[in-house]
């Protein structure tokens, strides 16, 4: 691979030709964009409303995490509106998703807050926040019943140009590598593709977080420029082909569910009639449900029946230390803002309740 990888979450240079060509030729209501900072889509008098939505995921994964929703929306919109779906880095780099949404280059985004570089304090909780959840159902409960919906709306309400719409759960976080991890010491020096917050936490054990474009991960694994991925669970590792390159899966998981959200450009959202807003929100809920089932079933099946990855485990006495370290990490994040403190307090309240509730909410 010709691209040079850099450590500590540095972004990799990627050819810009495809994006430049898009920005030169893409039009909104028949008017070409003069630059990457074009106006958001508006209702056309001669055709349907058109939106551009980019997801954090590459096409193989996007076929499950968003494509069914977009297809359902476009069909149900009955010609009034059409959403054009783009995958990771197709129009803009993933770390430019927020800015591109804010300035109207994109009308909508599906991503976690941290990966898309949202300039809000709660973005640190997007993706994988260590040990904040045990199961995927924990996340929507935290948002809908414990106040995270209101906190996220408050945070994004302070930023011009972007509407936060909804959060949902993806898969748990496991580490997949070409060489086995049987202890915390085995993490040292391994270069892994991963999401920002989890990478920041795991780096204390010597793991080296590396950021590359999503579509380059497979080649980087094949050439040895990456030693593994700390990005997903078993379902994704098998679906996107990383299980064909990695040999081992660490059964200790760092978090029970990835936290991802949908966002819209404020003007694009304001220009939608109410029934199309509701349709979009309803199909988002449909997408959340689809992922819950797809991931939950896939994780269990592939751990038992998958034949591409050998399971390893860090002993409980060592992993207990990781849990203890997470408490310290939580305090570091809580100290960053009053709002972050509120989120951490909610995590603590929720997990204490689940522990007291016992089976089936918590088994230990």
The Cα–Cα gap between 125 and 343 comes to 9
Phi/psi for 203 (5° steps) reads -65, -20
The Cα–Cα gap between 329 and 327 comes to 5
Q: What is the set of domains in the chain, with CATH numbers? A: 17-118+156-168+260-300 (3.40.190.170), 174-256+306-357 (3.40.190.170)
Q: Which residues of 50-67 are buried (b: 16+ CB within 10 A; e: fewer)?
A: bbbbbbbbbbebbebbbb
Q: For residue 348, give the 3-state DSSP assignment.
A: helix
The Cα–Cα gap between 280 and 260 comes to 16
Which contiguous run of DSSP H or E holds residue 17? Answer: helix 17-25
Phi/psi for 19 (5° steps) reads -70, -40
Q: What is the pLDDT along the chain (364 residues), one digit of tens a residue?
A: 333 333 433 333 333 444 434 443 343 333 333 334 444 444 445 789 999 999 999 999 999 999 999 999 999 999 999 999 999 999 999 999 999 999 999 999 999 999 999 999 999 999 999 999 999 999 999 999 999 999 999 999 999 999 999 999 999 999 999 999 999 999 999 999 998 999 999 999 999 999 899 999 999 999 999 999 999 999 999 999 999 999 999 999 999 999 999 999 999 999 999 999 999 999 999 999 999 999 999 999 999 999 999 999 999 999 999 999 999 999 999 999 999 999 999 999 999 999 999 999 998 7
The Cα–Cα gap between 119 and 98 comes to 8
CA angle 167, 131, 181 (to 5 degrees): 120
Residues β-bridged to residue 52: 84
Phi-psi category of 44—alpha, beta or left, where left has phi over 0 and alpha has psi -120 to 50?
beta
Q: Give the sheet arrangement for strand 191-194, strand by strand.
A: 208-210, 191-194, 228-232, 174-177, 248-250, 310-312
Q: How many CA atoms lie within 13 A of 137 on its CB side?
A: 6
What is the pTM for the complete model shown?
0.86
């Amino acid at each position: 691979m010709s691209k040079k990888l850099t450590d500590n979450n540095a972004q990799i240079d990627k050819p810009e030709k495809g994006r430049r060509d898009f920005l030169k030729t893409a039009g909104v209501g028949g008017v070409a964009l003069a630059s990457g900072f074009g106006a958001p889509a508006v209702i056309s008098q001669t055709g349907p409303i058109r939106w551009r939505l980019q997801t954090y995921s590459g096409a193989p994964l996007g076929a499950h995490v968003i494509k069914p929703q977009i297809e359902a929306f476009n069909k149900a919109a009955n010609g009034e509106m059409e959403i054009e779906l783009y995958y990771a880095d197709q129009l803009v780099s993933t770390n430019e998703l927020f800015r591109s949404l804010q300035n109207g280059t994109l009308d909508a985004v599906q991503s976690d807050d941290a990966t898309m570089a949202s300039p809000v304090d709660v973005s640190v909780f997007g993706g994988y926040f260590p040990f904040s959840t045990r199961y995927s159902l924990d996340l929507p409960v935290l948002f809908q019943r414990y106040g995270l919906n209101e906190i996220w709306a408050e945070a994004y309400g302070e930023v011009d140009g972007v509407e936060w719409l909804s959060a949902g759960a993806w898969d748990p976080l496991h580490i997949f590598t070409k060489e086995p991890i049987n202890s915390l010491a085995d993490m040292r020096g391994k270069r892994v593709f991963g999401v920002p917050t989890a990478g920041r936490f795991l780096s204390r054990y010597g793991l080296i977080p590396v950021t590359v474009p999503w579509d380059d991960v497979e080649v980087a694994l094949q050439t040895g420029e990456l030693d593994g991925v700390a990005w997903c669970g078993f379902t994704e590792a098998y679906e996107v082909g990383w299980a064909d390159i990695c040999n081992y899966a660490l059964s200790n998981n760092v978090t029970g569910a990835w936290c991802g959200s949908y966002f819209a450009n404020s003007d694009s959202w304001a220009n939608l009639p109410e029934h199309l807003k509701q349709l979009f929100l309803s199909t988002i809920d449909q997408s959340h449900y689809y992922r819950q089932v797809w991931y939950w079933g896939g994780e269990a099946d592939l751990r038992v029946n998958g034949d591409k990855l050998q399971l390893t485990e860090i002993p409980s006495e060592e992993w207990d230390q990781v849990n203890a370290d997470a408490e310290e990490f939580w305090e570091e994040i809580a100290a960053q803002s009053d709002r972050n403190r509120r989120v951490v307090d909610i995590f603590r309240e929720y997990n204490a309740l689940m522990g007291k509730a016992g089976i089936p909410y918590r088994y230990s």
